[in-house]
Amino acid sequence: MSITDLGIPTNGSPVIGHPLSGVGHVPPLSEGEKLSKKDFTSDQEVRWCPGCGDYAILAAVQGFLPELGIKRENMVFVSGIGCSSRFPYYLDTYGMHSIHGRAPAIATGIASARDDLSVWVVTGDGDALSIGGNHLIHALRRNINLKILLFNNEIYGLTKGQYSPTSRKGQVTKSSPFGSLDTPFNPVSLALGAEATFVARTLDSDRQHLSSVLRAAAEHRGSAFVEIYQNCPIFNDGVFDVLKDRTEAEGRIFYLNDGQEVVAGPEDDQRVVVRDDQGVMTVVPRTAADPARIVVHDESAESPAGAFALSRLDSPELSTVPMGIFRNVSRPSYDDLLREQVAAARTGEITDADIDALLGGKDTWTVSGSV
């Protein structure tokens, strides 16, 4: 089921007040109140390296947040450690720059304690997939109402250039002078395997696509996982360049649009994704494709198998790169269920007398007269 199936009107902006929207319980702006990018810009000097992809992401986020139509003071950005994790300092919302890998755990506490907050986690490939891998997968399976933005630059930047869990096999870095031996994670496959209900991928430099994915993530109730390919100009420069060159990108990026065929390339030289009897997906020229086997994207498919097969089209050469929302299904979020349990158990305001009764328990005895 998608949000649309649930009868939520979608006019392009997230729905405030609807319980099944990601910002459903967050107070909206008052009548006539409007926020702009400037309102989300903190007074702190931004200190990323010149040319860092994080600048573009920050600008996109600052530009997109006003569209949410919710109160700025009800937004919380939590990060871990790494270049990307400086992000909260530059946004004029509530924020916490925490410790390495732990942002999803801390954000889980925030989201569980309060349903009136829009909680975002900003993390990187080392932070989320290496030291914090455990917290990431558990946040996703619980479907906590968090929006997790993973800036993937396939390198450790802040510690100056060691291979990361997404670095390509054989990559030569300061800590792998003979080439990395690690098999990298595919973050989208990992998130799908961890039972994530919303999984998407986008690119730092594609402002429009990035903003549309962020909007959908904000609208999603539960965990939304967004992998953002991000360039590190110092330690891994140009790793996504082929996706930024218009001509190169056209044949490589397969945009995922719900209900549409998964294709790339110019009209006259299209490549399409086809599915075999085992569910494995491959890319073939349209001219060679059996029309019945061409994959029509269904982001709300109950089984994650299709989304997973799409994620396996990735290759180190970036010759086939699905981009967009892989999966977007509805499942109750842990924090909502938790609040429901508490609400169901509650019988009203707790008074001192209620606490007295609790302290007494079932087996009490009374001693009269003092000694």
* Least distance to another protein, CB of residue 286, Å: 45
Does 255 participate in binding another protein (rule CB under 8 A)?
no
Does 37 participate in binding another protein (rule CB under 8 A)?
no
Q: Let me know: does 49 contact 234? Beta carbons within 8 Å.
A: yes
> In 46-157, at which residue ranges do the beta strands (DSSP E only) sit?
75-79, 94-97, 118-124, 146-152
Of the candidates 61, 65, 70, 76, which one interacts with another protein according to CB under 8 A? 76
Q: Let me know: does 117 contact 111? Beta carbons within 8 Å.
A: yes
| C-alpha–C-alpha distance, residues 35 and 358, integer Å | 47
Closer by beta carbon to another protein, 136 or else 210: 136
Q: Let me know: does 297 contact 259? Beta carbons within 8 Å.
A: yes
Query: Per-residue string for binding with another protein, 40-59, x by CB under 8 A?
Result: --x-x---------------
* Least distance to another protein, CB of residue 304, Å: 21
Does 158 participate in binding another protein (rule CB under 8 A)?
no
Closer by beta carbon to another protein, 136 or else 318: 136
| C-alpha–C-alpha distance, residues 316 and 308, integer Å | 17
Does 350 participate in binding another protein (rule CB under 8 A)?
yes
Does 102 participate in binding another protein (rule CB under 8 A)?
yes
In sequence order, the 6+-apart residues with CB closer than 8 A to the CB of 277 are none
Q: CA 279 → CA 170, 269, 309, distances in Å?
A: 30, 25, 7
**Phi and psi of 334, rounded to 5°?**
-55, -45
Query: Per-residue string for binding with another protein, 305-344, x by CB under 8 A?
Result: ---------------------------------x--xx-x
Closer by beta carbon to another protein, 149 or else 243: 149
Does 96 participate in binding another protein (rule CB under 8 A)?
yes
Let me know the angle formed at the C-alpha of 148 by 142 and 154, rounded to the nearest 5 degrees.
Answer: 120
**Phi and psi of 11, rounded to 5°?**
-115, 25
Closer by beta carbon to another protein, 101 or else 304: 101
- Binding residues for another protein, rule: CB under 8 A, are 27, 42, 44, 71-76, 78, 88-89, 91-99, 102, 105-114, 116-117, 134-135, 138, 338, 341-342, 344-347, 350, 352-356, 358-361, 363-371
